[in-house]
Structure 1
Amino acid sequence: MTTKDSRAAGLASLAALVADETRAACLLALLDGRAWTAGELARHAGVAASTLSEHLGKLVAGGLLAQERQGRHRYVRLADARVAQLVEDLAAQVPAAAVQRPVRTLRESSTESAMARGRTCYDHLAGRLGIAVTDALTERGLLRQDTGFALTDAGLEWFGAAGIALDRAGRRPLARPCLDWTERRAHLAGAAGAALCRHALDAQWCVRIGSERAVQVTASGQRALSDLLGIPAGALR
């Protein structure tokens, strides 16, 4: 008799959780790092609230989502950075041809263009903005990519000089690559990527636009990123 591998059963259960288009749409939406109400996710996924509630229950029970209630509203978010990394990595493996679809409206075209220019990928910067920042850090010797992603001593000093606090006490890696699903190249994730993104939003170098994950670099952000990293303003528009 063959002994069943409990890991295989667990992996199959996890794959089944993600292998539903409605649940996948929720997980991708929650990559913006914020908490959404069940109603917001239902509208986003294009399903009835009762249907969405059943899906959310499965994702919470499976440990992929965390939930909390405030008054009448039920809020959900990705359980942690580990789940975000899983969703990011799976999304990046989808062939480019599979995600290309005819754009039906001007609004869809504008949204897709904005997401490609710059967006948050859970808690770090992605799109052309994320790649531009990652390239600039690398070119200045602040980030190494030859043996995985790692901040150099100069990189650690740069973060300190820029007033960007790094969380070095947790188990999360300081820097790690995240494959960008629009650019098909790696951008900076990990604790350093999260700190840089948080600082960019707090200092209003970037502002969120629309209801998606898209962000736009402000005029002050263009000046700051030019001064600190030498990124041309044209690369940020």
Structure 2
Amino acid sequence: MDDTPDIPRVAKLLADVARTRIVWTLIDGSVRAAGELAYQAGISSQSCSAHLMKLVHGGLLAVEAQGRHRYFRIANAEVACMIESMAALASGTEPGLPQCLPSTRSSTEAFMRARTCYDHLAGEIAVSILASMQKARWLRRKDAELVATRLGEHQLRALGVDFDSARDERRVFARPCADLTQRRPHLGGALGAHMLNLYIDQSWLVRSPKSRLVSVTPKGNEMFRKLLELA
């Protein structure tokens, strides 16, 4: 019996440039109409429709119908993590210089510092936070995932993280997610998503309405400084 995972099926789905552009447009966790995705991919609506159906049937995208219109999003966090990891691998070996960075220097610096990766925080700040949490023994590695220590659970609750909800989600609780620009992991999984919600709800970060970028507020600068000094 051959129990080899069907990796070629997934690889074939992402081997097409148009389909890659579609999934990369959605990596921010957004929900977008087919027409917008066709424009972003630089293809006709008819061609985009065919690509979208392949991605939906292949399990990479999910579709939602609203009246006569259909809207598409990344199927789940596991798919988003795979895509971001592949993007990091495809960007080469030199840290901080992936080809998909914004065109201006100021935008590039902001992108590298803090942005979203599907439903969690990515970039320099996120990588440093995960490193600090591991050094302070809030989190420890368990195989390919991360688990909270007793100290970590206590501290995360004190910080305001909805720990029980994160633990009860039907997905990986916490995992290292390859960072596109830093070549070191940031925090993914349910815990990563709940921590991003905390940052937004408590005004540490402000989302950009048209991109993955997030801006750090003065309060956020102070709170992130404290997180980075855990150990």
Normalised-by-shorter TM-score class: 0.7 to 0.9
User: Partner residue of 1:174?
Assistant: 173
Where 2:37 maps in the other structure, the secondary structure is helix
Separation (CA, whole Å) in 2 of partners of 1:188 and 1:209: 20
Further displaced range: 168-177 or 50-59: 168-177
User: Partner residue of 1:152?
Assistant: 149
User: Partner residue of 1:234?
Assistant: none
Equivalences for 1:168-207 in 2 at 5 Å? 168-207=167-206
User: Partner residue of 2:107?
Assistant: 111
Kindly indicate whether residue 145 of structure 2 is the aligned counterpart of residue 161 of structure 1. Answer: no
Q: Percent of pairs identical after alignment? A: 39
Amino acid at match of 1:94: A
For structure 1, the 5+ residue unaligned runs are: 232-237
User: Partner residue of 2:218?
Assistant: 219
Kindly indicate whether residue 20 of structure 2 is the aligned counterpart of residue 21 of structure 1. Answer: no
Point out the structure with the larger helix share.
1
Q: TM-score, normalised by structure 1?
A: 0.82
Quickly say closer, same or farther: Cα 1:32–1:137, change in 2 above 3 A.
Answer: same
Contact (CA 8 Å) 2:88, 2:98: kept in 1 or not?
Answer: no
Say which of 27, 31, 37 aligns to 2:33: 37
Residue 40 of structure 1 deviates from its aligned partner by 2.4
User: Partner residue of 1:12?
Assistant: 8
Quickly say closer, same or farther: Cα 1:59–1:115, change in 2 above 3 A.
Answer: same
Residue 223 of structure 1 deviates from its aligned partner by 2.6
Say which of 82, 101, 105 aligns to 2:78: 82
Deviations 1:88-117 (A, max 9, x none): 2222221426975598954xx443332211
Quickly say closer, same or farther: Cα 1:219–1:40, change in 2 above 3 A.
Answer: farther
Residue 118 of structure 1 deviates from its aligned partner by 0.9
For structure 2, the 5+ residue unaligned runs are: none
Amino acid at match of 1:22: A
Separation (CA, whole Å) in 2 of partners of 1:146 and 1:60: 32
Where 2:73 maps in the other structure, the secondary structure is strand
User: Partner residue of 2:57?
Assistant: 61
Amino acid at match of 1:60: V
Residue 43 of structure 1 deviates from its aligned partner by 2.5
Quickly say closer, same or farther: Cα 1:225–1:105, change in 2 above 3 A.
Answer: closer
CA RMSD across the alignment: 2.8
Deviations 1:2-40 (A, max 9, x none): x9x5867x4322211111111112212212112122222
Contact (CA 8 Å) 2:91, 2:98: kept in 1 or not?
Answer: no
Residue 195 of structure 1 deviates from its aligned partner by 0.9
Say which of 134, 137, 143 aligns to 2:139: 143
Quickly say closer, same or farther: Cα 1:73–1:110, change in 2 above 3 A.
Answer: farther
Separation (CA, whole Å) in 2 of partners of 1:164 and 1:218: 19
